[in-house]
């Protein structure tokens, strides 16, 4: 179960500009103190190779995705992992030993405002589920930031055209979406402007 408040609003605001990320391929190596991964992510129809390095699979995948997306989406740099849970659904096992059961991975994070979000995935590969949960988290926060900026631009346009009805609507929607974003300088400046 993924807990992503305001996602319907974010999807509606972005429409066809919703940034879809999907895991295509994952290669992973672990050494004594370092994990490396090569992730191929589909950005819509475009395949992008992401390399990551860290102290485990979560750290390696997140580091690689952060290197790829945090330059443009600064709010990703302020997300903090607060929980990581792996469980098994043993009723799904096919073999006697049960090691083929579906594994469920849950990542809990907080944004810079202290709001809590959970991202989950389940499959017969815990590593794949970890990758998909991290990708879902990155996709969510990227889209939340993009939706906030889209609403800000729409509000600015409505102000210039004297459309107070739209200004009110966009302001209310920005107040909702900002709960799902994380602190970034660009968002802080817009908040000051609205203040």
pLDDT tens, position by position, 11-60: 999 999 999 999 999 999 988 889 999 999 999 889 999 999 999 888 99
- pLDDT at site 181: 73
Q: Residue 74: which pLDDT band, with cuts at 50, 70 and 90?
A: confident
Q: 62 Cβ partners below 8 Å, 6+ apart?
A: 52, 54, 81, 134, 138
Domain ranges within the chain, ordered by starting residue: 7-147
Mean pLDDT check: name the lowest of 16-25, 48-57, 61-70, 71-80: 71-80
**Mean pLDDT rounded to a whole number for the chain:** 87
21 and 43 in contact (C-beta within 8 Å)?
yes
- pLDDT at site 185: 61
Kindly report the backbone phi and psi dihedral angles of residue 99, in degrees, each rounded to the nearest multiple of 5, phi listed first. -75, -5
CATH C-level class of 7-147: alpha beta
Residue 1 has pLDDT above 50, yes or no: no
Pair of tokens at residue 122: 């389940």
Q: Residue 105: which pLDDT band, with cuts at 50, 70 and 90?
A: very high
Query: Taking the model in full, what pTM does it have?
Result: 0.87
Q: What is the CA radius of gyration of the chain?
A: 19
Terminal C-alpha separation, the chain: 35
Say what the alpha-carbon torsion angle 145, 146, 152, 158 is, to the nearest 10 degrees.
Answer: -160
- pLDDT at site 60: 94
Pair of tokens at residue 156: 């600015």
Q: Which residue has the higher pLDDT, 183 or 172?
A: 172
For residue 21, list its beta bridge partners: 43
For residue 108, list its beta bridge partners: 83, 118
Pair of tokens at residue 67: 């290197």
């Amino acid at each position: 179960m993924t807990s992503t408040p305001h996602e319907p609003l974010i999807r509606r605001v972005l429409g066809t500009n919703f940034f879809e990320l999907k895991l295509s391929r994952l290669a992973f190596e672990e050494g004594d103190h370092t994990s490396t991964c090569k992730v191929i992510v589909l950005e819509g129809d475009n395949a992008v190779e992401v390399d990551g390095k860290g102290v485990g699979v979560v750290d390696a995948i997140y580091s690689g995705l952060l290197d790829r997306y945090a330059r443009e989406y600064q709010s990703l740099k302020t997300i903090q992992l607060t929980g990581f849970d792996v469980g098994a659904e043993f009723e799904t096992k096919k073999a006697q030993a049960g090691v083929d059961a579906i594994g469920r991975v849950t990542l809990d994070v907080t944004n810079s405002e202290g709001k809590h979000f959970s991202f989950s995935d389940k499959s017969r590969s815990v590593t794949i589920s970890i990758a998909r949960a991290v990708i879902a988290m990155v996709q969510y926060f990227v889209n939340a930031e993009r939706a906030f900026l889209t609403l800000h631009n729409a509000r600015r346009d409505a102000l210039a055209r004297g459309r107070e009805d739209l200004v009110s609507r966009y302001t209310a929607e920005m107040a909702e979406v900002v709960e799902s974003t994380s602190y970034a300088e660009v968002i802080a400046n817009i908040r000051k402007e609205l203040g």
